[in-house]
Amino acid sequence: MSRDHRKLKVFVLADAAVVKVYASTRAMPVAERFGLQAQIRRAAVSVPANIVEGSTRESAREYVYFLSIALGSASEAHYLLGLAQRLGLLPDADAAALDSQYDNLIRGLSALIRALKPRR
């Protein structure tokens, strides 16, 4: 059963967050290219990538598994962005916008996972 990930609000949010993350981390020092900048970007890209991969899975159980990975990556990116701000590597305005985006994304993924998990 293939699902169209492009119709999911969480995918749209995750995709937009990746674009914002790349733009916001572009000005980080060269010393962070293989450090925090790369880690933030990997975590950010992992979110929509796992939503897309999960959407192609046959069972709801597998779908929820990939959504759970996406949720973990979103939480990781959220933390790392806050850390970058505290270290002075990310402008406050960018950090505030991304904080709000990731709050909404994490809530949305959590709600979708809850809705898809079988009731016991």
pLDDT digits (tens, 9 = 90+) for 19-36: 999 999 999 999 988 999
Contact 71, 106 (CB under 8 A): yes
pLDDT tens digits, 59-87:
999 999 999 999 999 999 999 999 999 99
DSSP percent split of the chain into helix, strand, coil, nearest 5: 80, 0, 20
Q: Which domain range does residue 47 map to? A: 5-116
Rounded to two decimals, what is the model's pTM? 0.93
According to the model, what pLDDT value does residue 118 have? 77
Q: Is 27 helix (H, G, I), strand (E, B) or coil?
A: coil
Percentage of residues of the chain with pLDDT beyond 90? 90
**Crossing angle, helix 60-86 and helix 9-25, to 10 degrees?**
30
Domain count, the chain: 1
Q: Residue 75 maps to which CATH number?
A: 1.20.1440.60
Q: How far apart are CA 55 and CA 34, in angstroms?
A: 31
